[in-house]
Structure 1
Amino acid sequence: MTRSNLIGGEMLNWSDLHPVDARPPAAGPAATALLAAALQPRDSVLIAGPHAVDVITAVAARVTSVDLLLRSAPDAEEIAELLDDTKGQVFCGALDRFGADETYDVIVALDGLERLGGPDTPKLTWTEALARLRSRLAPTGRLLLGAQNSFGVERLIQPAITAALPRDEDWARDVADTAPAGIKPLQAALRGAGVEIAQTYAVFPSLVEAQLAATSVRGLAAVAAARSVAARNAGPTLMDPYRLVLDATAAGLGSDLAPAWYFVGGAERPGDAASTSPSVLPEGAVPTGSGVLLEEHLLAALRVDDQATLRRIIPDYAAWLGTGGAGSPDNVILDGTSYRLFGEAQDGDVVTHLTRFARRVLESGSRQPWPAGGDPQALTARLASMAGITVTEEVSASAEVIRPMGSAEQLATVARLADELAHASARAILFEGTVSGIRRSLPYRVGHAVLNPARVIRRRVKRLLRKVRR
């Protein structure tokens, strides 16, 4: 029977499970998948820090004994009642008051170490907190640790105003120092504490909603990561989240700029944790096999004005849709000359899917060989014509202007529009000067008089009549 024990340093009027103005607890399918891969039925487990209820129950369902260390008294009571039929205890208080002598086969701290203390906890650095948890590991135990990246993609995409609004939980940081900045310093700190790292995962889009965790962020895994980040940042951003993640992974910075990380390690011997841990969590989140996302292939052609590639690929894609394929370029994988789905099928004809692609092109502010700031209907009509499809007036009747998602892409589009306008204005001035010069030339006037005798005669008659009236 699970019991709740107050050990000191507890927070009586605070909840991490149901926050009002604070960060939610660690959660997500990637967290659940990691636990499913790491836990064994006979393991004794300590869950340290706030974790979502479904994560806690997933652990309790897999092992025979589970203890919890929580700082929130209401959360401790709720979890103790929820796990009434589970062997274990709930310890409510700060990590520095956790004086139990028991060691554990697995310690789960996927939320990190920063929320293991309260406002009245003496200064406890991240390294000291790690050492205290490390001391609770059995000689062959395993540590599942999460850590936030202090310079992840959020720093590059979130508007500055959001970073200037602290939450209720952001009290003085001398309560518990944050994790070392950067993945390499973190790994060094873990090794310095005697934790041998078996596996490191880049987590997207955050610890509190871990949708994807991957040991290598490249290829189709990068696309899945970019999607999760973009879905979490649908509002105004400094840069387009989707493109930023893909560009970072293309530069080899996918893991370095990940919003967070999971570390799988052992006290003395990591054992076979590296071989048993999947490379992607949850498994199946990233399609297997080779190939590139069709959208990325088409965007690459647009950026360099490679219309030959567009005129080759778009008819092939339209033919694939005609044979029963169902997917827009953003969820279709191109592998040589074959196509396959990335995710769920999407209904619609060729024009519908090309319209979706056109919107994504304009939202990303991507370079294209046609005038900037266009509407998706006009771009769709151009792309559809490459497959021999004429977009009817009914489809393209309502012109809609799409703004790029990020402020940086908006500024780039404005700059390109200004450049195009300047070139158009220069050409108009040149044309006007050329026409004016032609009109003043003698050959033009002679030709004009010869080709327009009636106009010349009418002018002379009017002149004579004016003289007679005088």
Structure 2
Amino acid sequence: MTTETAPAVALPGGEMLSWSDQRGEAGNDPLAALAARLVPAGARVLLAGPHDPALLDALTHARITCLLRGYPDAAAVAGRVDRVLVAGPHGLPPGEEYDVVIAGGGLDAVESVEGARLGWDAALARLVAAVRPGGQLLLRLDNPLGVHRLVAAASWYAGRDDAEWTVGGVLDAHRPANLDQLRVRLAAAGMRAGASYAAYPRPDLTTALLATDQLARRTSSGLFDAVLHDACTSGFGGRFVLADPARLAVDALHAGRAAELAPSWLVVAHRAVDPLTTDERYGTAAVDGDGLPVALVQAGGPGNTVVEVVDGPQGWSWHRPDPGDRTEAAAAPYASREAAFRDPAAPDGPVPDGRLLRSLLLDGCLRRDTTLLRRLLRGYADWLADQAGDGRLTGAVALAGADNLVVAGDRFAVLDPTWRANAPLPVDVVLARTLWRFSAELLTGGYAHPWTSTLDVAGLTVVLGGVAGRDFDRAVVDAAVETEAAVGAAVRGLDADGRVGLDTELRAVTPTDPPPGPGSYQQLREAWLRQREENTRLTALLKWTEDLLTSRERALRRSEAAVNLLSGSLSYKVGRLAITPARLAKRGARAAKRRAVAAIAQKQQDRPDKQEQQ
């Protein structure tokens, strides 16, 4: 495409003709959902830097101008926006103002190497100047001490790829390195920082935006616990890391540091306006964090719908930003015999408060608190029994495991009721499935627990069932694994062959396997240590068996030698001569006895025949 075929593309100077900032794995649907909430219809919006195409889909009601440094990126979006400028920040026309300016990729992706370099503060000042009085700026800042840096296997400062020609973070004193410094820079530029969000799991991939103030206050929130774990597990899937990012993020949450360790932050800032000045279209435009969502989560990972959590008078509640797209659940999953289906209207309603059951169970195992474990598991088993009808469970309760249940005192509740069972499931199977999943996580993750280390996943499941007050054998565990494979196939969209393969894979899980998800060096090392311990145990058992066989063989040889020795002695020969006549006499007596018995039997048989003849 050229400028003749894309008249909406302007080249004021400083364009990078062959450079593209788009990355295949990038995505930021939560930002798109937030922007759709903030940007009113007809507003003038400036997108500074590269953005996820989902943002353009969410802002079809606005007039969009894109500021990009790479011409290929500009040509790709030219037909979807009103205007595209290919330049650095200096390419913005002086005096041109916008209602909302969005720099969702940060300021590093705005500057061009083909023009004058402004620096971070000057680039911010140029974008702030483009915000009309009362307008808003959405700015992202990467965290040089985020989870992604702490678990990275490769050093961030040794990159040689084309996309790593800028060095950000604490080494450059001219740019902010944390959220407080960013607020100070915004205030110096004439902006008032409002709501701020921690973006997880990676700077180039955001599937969860969590309000930083709520992260600092609600450190035991089951919702934040589940969101951080799911986001980091899926966001780092297939990557080799030093440590489990999900474990690190959840631990940071409980320590009140989840916001500080976020891979990046998103700040909503507002330009000061005279309180007496009113915009005829939008009214006074100063909007604080009040009314903005507590969390924006891409349920199920990239490519799925973004759901919001809003804070209301009755507490937190689920909210979908696109209620018009809701449809009723179709009957197709039932006809196709899938074990589970996704409710298109869920999640909805209040967000249950409490701590995540998985975290409580892990805490009890690490501290060897069997009293706590017994109370939690028996409470969960009793809760399942109370929810059942005729010994079977339906709906979201039948599929909710320890990673989707929150506990508040003695009350249990399903956190996200999106996935529901297609057919009723026995209570014991539902309980065994939850315990099997937790057992697999406990053993493959290398967590310490109060039970013997020789248990396999199925054996530990049976033990946990006993702790819960339920006595089920391995047949119930087999049914639970089969259900887990069927549900997993439905969630992943696998066919029949994929379901069989998943079932085989689940049944082959052993305590020496590393956990699924990112390839963590720590977890791989723990798996290697468990394999070494198991090999040591098997070697010791084999050595004991070999020693036992050797000792028995030696004893047998000594017995054979004694027999051979005795068989050649004079006493043995004399004894043999004395015993031989007795053996012959005994043998003759037995033969005579047999002949006598046969003769008597013959006479008794002949006597009735003679009586019949008479």
1:296 pairs, out of 354, 359, 366, with 359
SS at match of 1:147: strand
Q: 1:193 to 1:467 in 2, by over 3 A?
A: farther
Of 321-330 and 249-258, the range deviating more from structure 2: 321-330
* Structure 2 residue 294 is the aligned partner of structure 1 residue 279: yes
* Structure 2 residue 230 is the aligned partner of structure 1 residue 227: yes
Q: Which residue of 2 aligns with 1:184?
A: 180
2:78 pairs, out of 54, 77, 80, with 80
SS at match of 1:211: strand
CA positional deviation for 1:391:
2.2
2:444 and 2:530 map into 1 onto residues whose CA distance is: 15
SS at match of 2:514: coil
Structure-to-structure mapping, 1:38-53, within 5 angstroms: 38-53=38-53
2:262 and 2:290 map into 1 onto residues whose CA distance is: 23
Q: 1:417 to 1:394 in 2, by over 3 A?
A: closer
2:383 pairs, out of 320, 343, 358, with 320
CA positional deviation for 1:374:
4.9
Query: Contact 1:376–1:399 at 8 Å: present in 2 too?
Result: no
2:7 and 2:91 map into 1 onto residues whose CA distance is: 20
* Structure 2 residue 405 is the aligned partner of structure 1 residue 332: yes
Q: Which residue of 1 aligns with 2:19?
A: 14
Structure-to-structure mapping, 1:166-181, within 5 angstroms: 166-173=160-167, 179-181=175-177
1:241 pairs, out of 245, 248, 253, with 245
Structure 2 counterpart of 1:94, which letter?
G
CA positional deviation for 1:57:
3.1
* Structure 2 residue 400 is the aligned partner of structure 1 residue 400: no
Of 105-114 and 52-61, the range deviating more from structure 2: 52-61
Query: Contact 1:45–1:106 at 8 Å: present in 2 too?
Result: yes
CA positional deviation for 1:331:
1.0
Structure-to-structure mapping, 1:127-142, within 5 angstroms: 127-142=121-136
Q: Which residue of 1 aligns with 2:68?
A: 70
2:205 pairs, out of 205, 209, 214, with 209
1:267 pairs, out of 250, 264, 271, with 271
Higher relative contact order (CA 8 A, sep 6+): 1
CA positional deviation for 1:82:
2.2
2:157 and 2:205 map into 1 onto residues whose CA distance is: 19
Structure-to-structure mapping, 1:313-392, within 5 angstroms: 313-322=376-385, 323=388, 324=393, 325-326=397-398, 327-343=400-416, 344-345=418-419, 347=421, 349=429, 350-372=431-453, 374-386=455-467, 387-392=470-475
SS at match of 1:297: helix
Provide the TM-score with structure 1 as the length reference.
Answer: 0.80
Cα deviations across residues 365-404 of structure 1 (Å, max 9, x unaligned)? 2221124475322221211223222223983996632324
SS at match of 2:266: strand
* Structure 2 residue 150 is the aligned partner of structure 1 residue 156: yes
Query: Contact 1:144–1:264 at 8 Å: present in 2 too?
Result: yes
Q: Which residue of 1 aligns with 2:606?
A: none
Q: Which residue of 2 aligns with 1:447?
A: none
2:197 and 2:19 map into 1 onto residues whose CA distance is: 31
Structure 2 counterpart of 1:95, which letter?
P
Q: Which residue of 2 aligns with 1:101?
A: 95
Of 284-293 and 352-361, the range deviating more from structure 2: 284-293
1:5 pairs, out of 3, 10, 13, with 10
CA positional deviation for 1:172:
4.9
Query: Contact 1:237–1:407 at 8 Å: present in 2 too?
Result: yes
CA positional deviation for 1:196:
1.0
Give the superposed CA RMSD: 3.8
Query: Contact 1:9–1:93 at 8 Å: present in 2 too?
Result: yes
Of 196-205 and 98-107, the range deviating more from structure 2: 98-107
Q: Which residue of 1 aligns with 2:33?
A: 33
Provide the TM-score with structure 2 as the length reference.
Answer: 0.62
Query: Contact 2:205–2:235 at 8 Å: present in 1 too?
Result: no
Of 413-422 and 65-74, the range deviating more from structure 2: 413-422
Query: Contact 2:148–2:201 at 8 Å: present in 1 too?
Result: no
Q: Which residue of 2 aligns with 1:124?
A: 118
CA positional deviation for 1:55:
0.3
1:50 and 1:399 map into 2 onto residues whose CA distance is: 44
CA positional deviation for 1:466:
8.5
1:461 and 1:231 map into 2 onto residues whose CA distance is: 72
Structure 2 counterpart of 1:56, which letter?
L
SS at match of 2:522: helix
Q: Which residue of 1 aligns with 2:140?
A: 146
SS at match of 2:60: helix
Query: Contact 2:457–2:509 at 8 Å: present in 1 too?
Result: yes
Q: 1:310 to 1:425 in 2, by over 3 A?
A: farther
Q: 1:111 to 1:161 in 2, by over 3 A?
A: closer
Query: Contact 2:243–2:523 at 8 Å: present in 1 too?
Result: yes
| Aligned-pair identity (%) | 28
Q: Which residue of 2 aligns with 1:196?
A: 192
1:2 and 1:119 map into 2 onto residues whose CA distance is: 24
Structure 1 counterpart of 2:355, which letter?
V
1:194 and 1:296 map into 2 onto residues whose CA distance is: 43
Q: Which residue of 2 aligns with 1:437?
A: none
Q: Please identify the structure whose Cα radius of gyration is greater.
A: 2
1:128 and 1:373 map into 2 onto residues whose CA distance is: 63
Q: 1:377 to 1:99 in 2, by over 3 A?
A: same
SS at match of 1:37: helix
Q: 1:229 to 1:393 in 2, by over 3 A?
A: closer
Query: Contact 1:7–1:94 at 8 Å: present in 2 too?
Result: no
Q: 1:340 to 1:271 in 2, by over 3 A?
A: same
Cα deviations across residues 432-454 of structure 1 (Å, max 9, x unaligned)? xxxxxxxxxxxxxxxxxxxxxxx
Query: Contact 2:33–2:58 at 8 Å: present in 1 too?
Result: no
Structure 1 counterpart of 2:473, which letter?
T
Cα deviations across residues 141-171 of structure 1 (Å, max 9, x unaligned)? 2111111112110122222278755432222
CA positional deviation for 1:180:
2.1
Cα deviations across residues 253-293 of structure 1 (Å, max 9, x unaligned)? 10000011110111225823222322222414796242111
SS at match of 1:274: coil
SS at match of 1:275: coil
1:394 and 1:158 map into 2 onto residues whose CA distance is: 37
2:374 and 2:419 map into 1 onto residues whose CA distance is: 24
Query: Contact 1:240–1:364 at 8 Å: present in 2 too?
Result: no
Cα deviations across residues 290-345 of structure 1 (Å, max 9, x unaligned)? 21111111111111112223223223323433412221111112222232222234
